[in-house]
Structure 1
Amino acid sequence: MADPASFDRFAADYDRFVSLQPGQHTEWVLGLGLRGQRALDVGCGSGHAAERLAGQFEQVVGVDLSEPMISLARRKRSRPNIEYRVADVFAVDDREFDLVYSHTMMHHLPDYRAGLEHLKSLVRVGGTVAVVDNVCDRYPTPPRSLYLLGAWLGFPRQISRLGLRDAWFEFRFWHSRPWLDHLASDRYLSRTQFRALYDEVFPGAQYTDLGFALAMRWTCDG
């Protein structure tokens, strides 16, 4: 049986789905106004954030476990200053990044804290670790019915925003078995757990509540 946490089974559909969510993967981190020589996008998927970060950094490295997602990134969001790699986060041993960024990936790791510690080890002094991850105060794993209810309630608004064709695609994607199986494999921290863990690893971190997720920014001072 395929790993439900894997994006391999629905990579192309997920890429289209993300493309219909303007700014979700990029606006917060781009809004930090960071620039520099090297940025790392951990769990880069099909390259939506890496492509945007390439306008602010001289070199961007995008890393993801999913070969189909990296193939999409290389085909659709290639830039001369982006390198895409199929790799586990713990296999990244580069150092001295000006930005280490991760979006809604950390909750997939079997050892969340170890993942954060590893990200911290990759940033240079004066550089920034920026992490966005899903949180849920009521359920570690929200029930499928909650996602389906949200899709039904949001459908008229999405028709207005996207048009019928793309809204219908998005609606069907929310109902697809592989996506629902994937969501059922997620384990989220609550906001309190998130802040407690991140404060231990990143003392002095700053937080932004994005509704579906918390965003954390931390600058390495030595």
Structure 2
Amino acid sequence: MGTAGVQFDKVAEEYDFAASLLNDHSFFLSNMPLKKGTALDIGCGTGLLVHELSGHFDHVIGIDISNEMLEVARHKRRRPNTEYLKMDASELRFPHLFDFIVSRTTFHHLEDVPNVICKMKELLHPGGKIVIIDNVSEVETPPAYVYVLGAIQEFFPNCFTFGIKSAARVFRHQTSKPWLEHLAADKYLSEQAYYDLYGPLLPGCTFRRMGWAMGIVWENKPIG
């Protein structure tokens, strides 16, 4: 994940601006566990989801490999019950368990998903939940023009929703060279590949297709 970290360092501020307008956290909020003690966000970026969860959980930790993303998170979204750490998901290690472990658009960067899922399960309290959202595509790495066309299609709706100035800034980010170079390195799973990979790793999990994204929910159900 080292290359991804460097790429995100280059776009941290503009990514944060766009994500703060466009990201929807409702899937995570609608799948929270009953016990809301501790939560962990893997690939927390600039802390948007950590900040949202901090209003529901006693303590929330966000981890990421991008120094610049973490700096934005600490500057903009630090609360008494939040913590931001530089940590690679493949080296996930904590001295305590969590009630909620989440991740948004991070897993396609991981080299060993089964290893990370295993570590997540080991860190989850009985009754706790894992919720993952990640990109889904029948084309493993879509060409750049696909993202540019998507940005063009979204521009006018964004103008009505956020205003022309904000929409233009989002468009510049989505079509910028550093962001397109980052996307060119992404590799996405198809819908069937999600079922084949995550189904055995998280037995009994539920899948929800949400346009460009796949949502996965798994509960660590107590035995007996």
Measured against the shorter chain, the TM-score band is: over 0.9
Query: Does 2:145 match 1:145?
Result: yes
Superimposed CA distance per residue, residues 152-181 of structure 1 (whole angstroms, 9 cap, x where no aligned partner): 222222111111101111111111000000
TM-score normalized by structure 1? 0.93
Q: Please name the residue that 1:31 is paired with.
A: 30
Residue ranges of structure 2 left out of the alignment (5+ in a row): none
Q: For residue 113 of structure 1, what is the amino acid of its counterpart?
A: P
SS at match of 2:182: helix
**Cα distance between partner residues in 2 of 1:196 and 1:31:** 25
Q: Please name the residue that 1:221 is paired with.
A: 221
**Cα distance between partner residues in 2 of 1:150 and 1:118:** 35
**Cα distance between partner residues in 2 of 1:78 and 1:163:** 28
Query: Does 2:70 match 1:105?
Result: no
- Using a 3 Å threshold, how does the CA distance of structure 1 residues 52 and 4 change in structure 2: closer, same or farther? closer
Q: For residue 124 of structure 1, what is the amino acid of its counterpart?
A: H
Q: For residue 97 of structure 2, what is the amino acid of its counterpart?
A: E
**Cα distance between partner residues in 1 of 2:115 and 2:32:** 28
Give yes or no for contact 1:4–1:178 (8 Å, CA) kept in 2: no
SS at match of 1:7: helix
**Cα distance between partner residues in 2 of 1:46 and 1:219:** 26
Give yes or no for contact 1:106–1:115 (8 Å, CA) kept in 2: no
What percentage of aligned pairs have identical amino acids? Answer: 36
Superimposed CA distance per residue, residues 61-80 of structure 1 (whole angstroms, 9 cap, x where no aligned partner): 10000111111111100110
- Using a 3 Å threshold, how does the CA distance of structure 1 residues 154 and 87 change in structure 2: closer, same or farther? same
Give yes or no for contact 1:41–1:61 (8 Å, CA) kept in 2: yes
User: How large is the RMSD of aligned CA atoms in angstroms?
Assistant: 1.5
**Cα distance between partner residues in 1 of 2:205 and 2:98:** 18
Q: Please name the residue that 2:187 is paired with.
A: 187
Give how far 1:33 is off.
4.0
Instruction: Say which is worse superposed, 143-152 or 154-163, in terms of deviation.
Output: 154-163
Residue ranges of structure 1 left out of the alignment (5+ in a row): none
SS at match of 1:93: coil
**Cα distance between partner residues in 1 of 2:221 and 2:153:** 46
**Cα distance between partner residues in 2 of 1:193 and 1:31:** 25
**Cα distance between partner residues in 1 of 2:76 and 2:39:** 19
Give yes or no for contact 2:61–2:83 (8 Å, CA) kept in 1: yes
Give yes or no for contact 1:107–1:187 (8 Å, CA) kept in 2: yes
Give how far 1:48 is off.
0.3
**Cα distance between partner residues in 1 of 2:23 and 2:200:** 32
Q: For residue 28 of structure 2, what is the amino acid of its counterpart?
A: V
- Paired residues for 1:111-130 under 5 Å: 111-130=112-131
Instruction: Say which is worse superposed, 2-11 or 161-170, in terms of deviation.
Output: 2-11
Superimposed CA distance per residue, residues 175-196 of structure 1 (whole angstroms, 9 cap, x where no aligned partner): 1000000001100000100111
Q: For residue 30 of structure 1, what is the amino acid of its counterpart?
A: L
Give yes or no for contact 1:124–1:220 (8 Å, CA) kept in 2: yes
- Paired residues for 1:1-222 under 5 Å: 3=3, 6-23=7-24, 26-34=25-33, 35-94=35-94, 95-137=96-138, 139-222=139-222
**Cα distance between partner residues in 2 of 1:3 and 1:176:** 18
Instruction: Say which is worse superposed, 122-131 or 85-94, in terms of deviation.
Output: 85-94
